[in-house]
Homo-oligomer: A and B are copies of this chain.
Amino acid sequence: MSQVETVRNGVDIEQLFGTLDAIKAQPEIAKFRFRVANHWIDGAHNRSTIQGFYAAGGEDTTRGEAFEVDAGEPAILLGSDTGPNPAEHLLHALAACLTTSVVYIAAARGVPLTKVESELEGEMDVQGALGLSDEYRNGFERIRASFRVTGDAPAEKLREVVRRAQQRSAVFDMVSHGVPVAVDVTTD
């Protein structure tokens, strides 16, 4: 494989298969912990700082700077639009994870992609979250995701890559099936 051919879809294929081999040889390096620290600013405005994580047996030291991501609410939900709202951030997490899964799986299977675009929509009745009715849940009733994927492969192969991405995406799994969340509180 020439130097040029080791990168497909922006993914280093040698590194990809090297990572898989390394984990097969030493499965204990597969444990990851991701984290965010969030602080309230005012009203619906809060900010997460995202930097450190645990991977491959130790704390990551490669991220020189923390990412900051703001959240807010539009005026109709009593905010001043200081960022996407939390439910929109959840849709972004889902879109991003499915997209990266499509890109990595296509890279591993020798499928050069030219486009991956998606539109996601979630429906909710806010009577649930506002505590006005027990007939509605707090979150989205359902989410619809529409993907457009183009590349140098037959349509059926592109569809198969998207199916496989759904089977392997971390956030698709979490949003579809739920995750136990434990909350503790200190007040001083």
Binding site for B on A (CB under 8 A): 9-12, 15-16, 19-20, 23-24, 27, 30-40, 42-46, 48, 50, 53, 55-56, 60, 62-63, 67, 69, 71, 73-79, 81, 83-104, 113, 115-133, 136-150, 155, 158-159, 162, 166, 168-188
CB of A67, distance to nearest CB on chain B (Å): 5
CB of A152, distance to nearest CB on chain B (Å): 12
Cβ contact within 8 Å between B23 and A139: no
CB of A40, distance to nearest CB on chain B (Å): 4
A186 CB contact (under 8 Å) in B75, B100, B146? B146
Distance of A49 Cα from B60 Cα, bound (Å): 29
What DSSP secondary structure best describes chain A's contact surface?
Answer: mixed
A38 CB contact (under 8 Å) in B43, B117, B176? B117
What is the oligomeric copy number?
Answer: 2
Distance of A100 Cα from B150 Cα, bound (Å): 39
Cβ contact within 8 Å between A127 and B23: yes
Cβ contact within 8 Å between B33 and A78: no
CB of A27, distance to nearest CB on chain B (Å): 6
Cβ contact within 8 Å between A180 and B93: no
Distance of A183 Cα from B98 Cα, bound (Å): 10
Q: A35-B119, A146-B186, A183-B147 are in contact. Are A93 and B93 (CB under 8 A)?
A: yes
Cβ contact within 8 Å between A118 and B37: yes
Can you list 30 A-B contacts with CB-CB less than 8 angstroms, sorted by A residue number?
A9-B43, A15-B78, A19-B76, A23-B127, A27-B132, A36-B88, A38-B96, A38-B118, A40-B102, A40-B115, A44-B100, A46-B103, A48-B92, A50-B88, A60-B74, A71-B93, A78-B104, A85-B96, A87-B93, A90-B94, A90-B171, A94-B181, A98-B183, A137-B177, A138-B172, A143-B179, A145-B181, A148-B187, A155-B188, A174-B175
